[in-house]
């Protein structure tokens, strides 16, 4: 589809449709779902990282006030099936409750159902579990050794996935390059940690045989997977998507929660709700993110041209697989970043340890990869004594090279990386920024400038599944929209997923208004439940502006064609002789000879005798869209088009460090951003600001730290540090627009924006600040202590 050039509603300032209910306290989150007679769940969790369950005594709990039931893994695993395993590892089964053994501290062992959550918690304390501790492994490199304790002995090793991809003449480039560097970059275990924990409420209706589910989720194919695990046909599970989700950014998968609560309501015949408390969420909610180190090697010439890159990425997914190994696969689609690097070796390794399982996090593995690449660019610059801006520009894919196919087989749709970086540098007044940094340095403190230029693959496709699992042939990742015009002429868009703040109701109403030339304020957007919904793959992978926007536009165009066909039939002319304007259809050159919107709607709904033959009465249209460029299987070398569109962001940041405490302070922050045509600029900017804040957390504060005996050491918000308004500075965004040639309006995705470059930019700034001391830190999060220690070590070295 070709990009339109001017728009009526797209790109204009427009208040989000969702806001009024939230500011008035009328949001409807899962914890607000109160069903008559509803019971509540509390959990018993394993205190051991690895242990055999010797016995579970539940009698005292069952006798406690208000207790209805206690469920253990023995019963649960006998009556449900394993959650889906993404990679080809059939023995790595996973259930909501552990049976026989526990594989991480925090794993759920028993569930208590009682009249209130408080009573359920009281009773949970009376359950006595006897454990026999077993050897455990926390470090991923130790887990790969032959003598390591096995997390899943039936699987035969702790290795979940390993492959070495070679795309292009890598060894030749390394042999011929003038310079080489090698280093390790470490991405710490953090996650998006929404302020709302997971929750699910469910109600089994024995009369209809339907299990109704309300859940705080952002999960592709959630209803299908819940039904399968519960051994139900798909049409026995009805997931209600009209639940407001209190933040997700990838992690709210919630499958084990829903299967557990679904089983309980079916078994007990009463509605059941489970809302995680914060410890259950952080420790047992299975939402920790990538935990990864990169062994990076680069081959380059004196002029700064990078000829080849080798990336070995070892990722610790914790105790179970799920979709987490795929987070090593998605970055294949942008494995060389925005740079024209001709030869790449990529060796992803997914390993299990006795930690909380990993789940999808904003960017699905792309932000850690971008961090490693951007640290590499700065290290190349430092090695050569070149300005890192020059190294970036020397290697950027040029505007005239698009569409550009990278060695791993994905084609970038469009971009103008030089222009965006230049715009960003101009916006922050780079010359004065350098002077400001040097001024701080002269005053005896440390200061550094960090730059990162990164890609945000968007349009969320799932082709990493077929790349990483030969038994998987999932080549479509469609999304859909249904548009209805009722007898009153009012328009309703029906979408098929829940939202977690992305503004999908605003998106769809704007797109429908744009195509149908009707005021978006008058357009309602509702959410189908999973039994009435069209196919959707949920708002993952920065896809909804592209996929839901495209589907809504497609359906609206069909409505427009239908209205035109009705007018043509009644004028006894060809549709080509007519023009559509503000919802009415008139004969070209004769604006008075027209059918109004109301007249056309009335014909469609009530006057069959005036409808063209073959046209269905009523007025509605659906559109199901496959991801543009999607649908193919990988080549034998593992070349594949994964995502269709590629947004670009350039971050420039000034960080000042107190040398006495190691405390970093972000003094200036500008992000240049090109995600093509923005449908709602406020929403795009908002997600980008939030992504930057989240990236600040990943870079400096947030870590799921584990003790040597496998205990999570950051199970509260006093230890897992989310940046507040005091740590996040005033942020500035500079827009640029290179439309995508692949999408309806030229839009690209933006849901992961900011987060994809902020950790890299901040790490580069801290390292620039430490550079005069000869120190560097390549492991995130860069804590105050790490900085203080690095400063102290260099000072110590200098004084001896």
Partner 1 sequence: MSETLHAVSVEVNGRPRSARVPARLSLVDWLREDLFLTGTHVGCEHGICGACSVMLDGQPVRACLMYVVQAHGHRVTTVEGLAKPDGSMSVLQDSFCETHGLQCGYCTPGMLIATQALLNSNPDPTEAQIRDAIGGNLCRCTGYQQIVEAVQLAAERMAKEAK
Interface positions with partner 1 (CB under 8 A): 15-16, 18-27, 29, 31-32, 34, 64-65, 118, 192-197, 244-249, 275, 277-278, 500-503, 682-683, 685-687, 689-694, 716-718, 722, 724-726, 728, 730-731, 754
Across 73-122, the runs of DSSP E, i.e. the strands, are 101-102, 108-114
Minimum CB separation of residue 520 from partner 1 in Å reads 15
Measured CA to CA, the distance from residue 463 to residue 632 in angstroms comes to 8
Which residue, 168 or 695, has its beta carbon nearer to partner 1?
Answer: 695
Measured CA to CA, the distance from residue 12 to residue 681 in angstroms comes to 7
Minimum CB separation of residue 15 from partner 1 in Å reads 5
H or E segment and range at residue 233: none
Minimum CB separation of residue 249 from partner 1 in Å reads 7
Task: Kindly state the tokens that stand for 368.
Answer: 């850690």
Which residue, 62 or 340, has its beta carbon nearer to partner 1?
Answer: 62
Minimum CB separation of residue 680 from partner 1 in Å reads 9
- Angle value at C-alpha 425, between 424 and 431, nearest 5 degrees: 160
Torsion of CA 781, 785, 791, 793, to 10 degrees: -110
Minimum CB separation of residue 510 from partner 1 in Å reads 14
Q: Indicate left, alpha or beta for 380 from its phi (over 0: left) and psi (-120 to 50: alpha).
A: alpha
Which residue, 608 or 717, has its beta carbon nearer to partner 1?
Answer: 717
Minimum CB separation of residue 83 from partner 1 in Å reads 25
210-215 β-sheet, strand order = 67-72, 108-114, 39-45, 272-275, 199-205, 210-215, 237-240
Minimum CB separation of residue 669 from partner 1 in Å reads 10
Q: Could you give the angle at which helices 758-770 and 784-799 cross, rounded to 10 degrees? A: 20
Which residue, 73 or 697, has its beta carbon nearer to partner 1?
Answer: 697
Which residue, 17 or 266, has its beta carbon nearer to partner 1?
Answer: 17
Measured CA to CA, the distance from residue 54 to residue 172 in angstroms comes to 57
Q: Encode 250-283 in three state secondary structure.
A: CCCCCHHHHHHHHHHHHHHCCCEEEECCHHHHHH
Minimum CB separation of residue 727 from partner 1 in Å reads 9
Which residue, 65 or 209, has its beta carbon nearer to partner 1?
Answer: 65
Minimum CB separation of residue 502 from partner 1 in Å reads 7
Which residue, 329 or 691, has its beta carbon nearer to partner 1?
Answer: 691
Task: Kindly state the tokens that stand for 398.
Answer: 């040029």
H or E segment and range at residue 446: strand 446-458
Which residue, 172 or 277, has its beta carbon nearer to partner 1?
Answer: 277
Minimum CB separation of residue 645 from partner 1 in Å reads 22
Measured CA to CA, the distance from residue 264 to residue 270 in angstroms comes to 8
Which of 297, 304, 300 has the alpha carbon at shortest distance from 381? 304
Minimum CB separation of residue 753 from partner 1 in Å reads 11
Which residue, 206 or 726, has its beta carbon nearer to partner 1?
Answer: 726
Minimum CB separation of residue 754 from partner 1 in Å reads 7
Which residue, 29 or 788, has its beta carbon nearer to partner 1?
Answer: 29
Which residue, 201 or 406, has its beta carbon nearer to partner 1?
Answer: 201
Dihedral sign of CA atoms 239, 243, 248, 249 in order:
positive
DSSP 26-47: ---BGGG---TT-EEEEEEE-S
**H helices of 357-429, where?**
366-384, 388-395, 417-428
Residue listed under structure tokens 């469009």 = 414
Measured CA to CA, the distance from residue 669 to residue 673 in angstroms comes to 13
412: helix, strand or coil? strand
Across 677-759, the runs of DSSP E, i.e. the strands, are 732-736
584-587 β-sheet, strand order = 578-581, 584-587, 590-595
Instruction: Say how many Å lie between the first and final Cα of the chain, rounded.
Output: 67
- What's phi and psi for 116, nearest 5 deg? -140, 165
Q: Are 688 and 753 in contact (CB under 8 A)?
A: yes
Task: Kindly state the tokens that stand for 277.
Answer: 């408390």
581: helix, strand or coil? strand
Q: Are 561 and 519 in contact (CB under 8 A)?
A: no
Minimum CB separation of residue 671 from partner 1 in Å reads 10
Measured CA to CA, the distance from residue 213 to residue 237 in angstroms comes to 7
Which residue, 278 or 393, has its beta carbon nearer to partner 1?
Answer: 278
Dihedral sign of CA atoms 720, 725, 726, 731 in order:
positive
> What is the number of alpha carbons within 13 Å of residue 308 lying toward its C-beta?
21
Minimum CB separation of residue 618 from partner 1 in Å reads 34
- Angle value at C-alpha 508, between 506 and 512, nearest 5 degrees: 120
Which residue, 3 or 692, has its beta carbon nearer to partner 1?
Answer: 692
Minimum CB separation of residue 670 from partner 1 in Å reads 13
Minimum CB separation of residue 719 from partner 1 in Å reads 10
Measured CA to CA, the distance from residue 59 to residue 630 in angstroms comes to 55
Which residue, 19 or 398, has its beta carbon nearer to partner 1?
Answer: 19
Measured CA to CA, the distance from residue 193 to residue 197 in angstroms comes to 8
Which residue, 112 or 343, has its beta carbon nearer to partner 1?
Answer: 112
Which residue, 15 or 52, has its beta carbon nearer to partner 1?
Answer: 15
Torsion of CA 463, 469, 470, 475, to 10 degrees: -20
Minimum CB separation of residue 153 from partner 1 in Å reads 37
Which residue, 194 or 513, has its beta carbon nearer to partner 1?
Answer: 194
Q: Are 728 and 688 in contact (CB under 8 A)?
A: no
């Amino acid at each position: 589809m070709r990009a339109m050039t001017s728009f009526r509603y797209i790109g204009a300032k427009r208040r989000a449709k969702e806001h009024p209910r939230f500011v008035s306290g009328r949001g409807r989150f899962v914890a607000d779902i109160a069903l008559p007679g509803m019971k509540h769940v509390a959990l018993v969790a394993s205190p051991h990282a690895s242990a055999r369950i010797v016995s579970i005594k539940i009698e005292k709990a069952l006798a406690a006030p208000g207790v209805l039931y206690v469920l253990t893994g023995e019963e649960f695993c006998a009556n449900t099936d394993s959650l889906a395993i993404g990679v080809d590892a059939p023995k790595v089964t996973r259930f909501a409750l552990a049976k026989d053994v526990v594989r991480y501290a925090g794993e759920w062992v028993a569930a208590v159902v009682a009249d209130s959550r408080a009573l359920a918690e009281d009773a949970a304390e009376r359950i006595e579990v006897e454990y026999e501790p077993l050897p455990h492994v926390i470090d991923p490199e130790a887990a790969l050794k032959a003598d390591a304790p096995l997390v899943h002995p039936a699987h035969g090793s702790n290795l979940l996935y390993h492959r070495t991809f070679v795309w292009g003449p890598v060894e030749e480039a390394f042999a011929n390059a003038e310079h080489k560097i090698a280093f390790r970059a470490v991405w710490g275990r953090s996650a998006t940690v929404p302020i709302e924990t997971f929750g699910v409420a469910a109600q089994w209706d024995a009369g209809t045989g339907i299990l109704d589910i309300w859940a705080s989720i952002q999960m592709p194919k959630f209803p299908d997977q819940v039904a399968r695990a519960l051994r139900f046909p798909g049409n026995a599970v009805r997931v209600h998507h009209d639940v407001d989700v209190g933040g997700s950014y990838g992690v709210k998968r919630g499958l084990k929660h829903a299967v557990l609560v679904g089983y309980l309501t079916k078994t007990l015949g009463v509605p059941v709700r489970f809302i995680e408390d914060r410890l259950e969420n952080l420790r047992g909610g299975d939402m920790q993110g990538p935990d990864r180190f990169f062994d990076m090697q680069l081959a380059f010439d004196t002029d700064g041209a990078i000829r080849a890159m080798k990336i070995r990425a070892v990722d610790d997914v914790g105790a179970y697989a799920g979709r987490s190994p795929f987070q090593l696969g998605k970055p294949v689609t942008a494995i060389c970043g925005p740079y024209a690097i001709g030869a790449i070796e990529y060796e992803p390794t997914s390993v299990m340890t006795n930690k909380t399982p990993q789940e999808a996090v904003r960017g699905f593995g792309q932000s850690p990869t971008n961090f490693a690449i951007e640290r590499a660019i700065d290290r190349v610059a430092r090695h050569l004594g070149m300005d890192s801006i020059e190294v970036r520009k020397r290697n950027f894919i040029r505007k005239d090279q698009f569409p550009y196919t990278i060695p791993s087989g994905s084609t970038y749709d469009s971009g103008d990386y030089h222009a965006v970086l230049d715009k960003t540098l101009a916006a922050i007044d780079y010359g004065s920024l350098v002077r400001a940094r040097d001024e701080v340095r002269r005053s005896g403190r440390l200061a550094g400038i960090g730059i990162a230029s990164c890609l945000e693959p968007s349009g969320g496709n799932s082709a990493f599944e077929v790349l990483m699992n030969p038994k998987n042939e999932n080549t479509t990742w469609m999304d859909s929209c249904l548009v209805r015009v009722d007898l009153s002429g009012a328009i309703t868009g029906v979408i098929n997923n829940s939202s977690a703040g992305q503004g999908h109701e605003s998106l769809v109403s704007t797109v429908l208004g744009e195509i149908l030339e009707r005021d978006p304020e008058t357009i309602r957007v509702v959410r189908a439940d999973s039994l009435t919904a069209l196919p959707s793959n949920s708002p993952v992978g920065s896809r909804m502006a592209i996929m839901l926007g495209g589907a809504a536009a497609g359906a609206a165009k069909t409505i427009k064609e239908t209205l035109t066909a009705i007018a043509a039939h009644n004028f006894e002319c060809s549709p080509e002789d007519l023009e559509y304007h503000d919802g009415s259809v008139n004969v070209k050159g004769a604006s008075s000879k027209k059918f109004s919107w109301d007249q056309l709607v009335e014909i469609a709904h009530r006057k069959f005798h005036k409808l063209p033959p073959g046209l269905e009465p009523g007025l509605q249209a659906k559109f199901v869209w496959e991801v543009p460029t999607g649908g193919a299987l990988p080549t034998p070398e593992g070349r594949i088009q994964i995502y269709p569109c590629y947004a670009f962001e350039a971050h420039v940041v000034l960080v000042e460090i107190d040398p006495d405490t190691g405390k970093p302070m972000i003094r200036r922050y500008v992000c240049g951003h090109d995600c093509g045509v923005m449908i709602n600029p406020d929403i795009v900017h908002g997600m980008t600001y939030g992504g930057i804040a989240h990236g600040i957390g990943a870079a400096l504060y947030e870590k799921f730290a584990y003790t040597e005996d496998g205990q999570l050491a950051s199970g509260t918000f006093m230890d897992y540090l989310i940046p507040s308004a005091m740590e996040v500075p005033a942020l500035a965004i500079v827009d640029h627009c290179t439309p995508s040639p692949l999408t309806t309006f030229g839009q690209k995705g933006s849901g992961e924006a900011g987060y994809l470059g902020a950790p890299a930019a901040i790490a580069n700034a801290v390292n620039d600040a430490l550079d005069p001391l000869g120190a560097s830190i390549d492991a995130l999060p860069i804590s105050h202590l790490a900085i203080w220690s690095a400063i102290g070590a260099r000072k110590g070295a200098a004084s001896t």
